[in-house]
Amino acid sequence: MSFRSRAAGLAGLALSLALGTSALAQDSKAPIKVGVLSDMSGPFADQAGTGSVTAAQLAVEEFAKEAGELKVEVVSADHQNKPDIGLATARRWLDQEGVSTIVDLPN
């Protein structure tokens, strides 16, 4: 993944976190969960994969310096380049696990 596309992804993550901040203003103890849904084992693993998870974690660490008491948690999963697995993961995250936003999705 090129530097430009990673930078754009991190900017999108930061924007998502900033927008999500107002939604959790009532309960600042609850963490914002960011899901990184990527291809960890298939043809796009070298371009995204674990590198995207690491980039998201670095963005969260950088954001934490300015976030005060706001907590952000990164969760990740491998969609295995299969739409049904990706959709099931996304639905579980959004419906059951409280994930606020899903990033990466390289394909």
Q: What percent of the chain shows pLDDT beyond 90? A: 42
pLDDT digits (tens, 9 = 90+) for 17-68: 555 554 545 455 788 999 999 999 888 888 888 999 999 999 999 988 888 8
| Burial state string for 69-89 with b = 16 or more CB within 10 A and e = fewer than 16 | ebebebbbbbbebeeeebeeb
Q: Which fold has domain 3-23+30-104?
A: Rossmann fold (3.40.50)
Domain edges within the chain: 3-23+30-104
DSSP state of 31: P
Report the alpha-carbon distance of residue 69 to residue 73 in Å, rounded: 13
- Residue 99 pairs with which residues in a beta bridge? 33
The structure tokens listed for 81 are 């380049």
Q: Is the pTM of this model over 0.75?
A: no
Tell me how far the alpha carbon of residue 105 is from its chain's centroid.
10
- How far, in Å, CA of 104 to CA of 44, rounded? 11
Does 83 score more than 80 pLDDT?
Answer: yes
For residues 57, 62, 68 and 74, what is the CA-based torsion angle, rounded to 10 degrees? -10
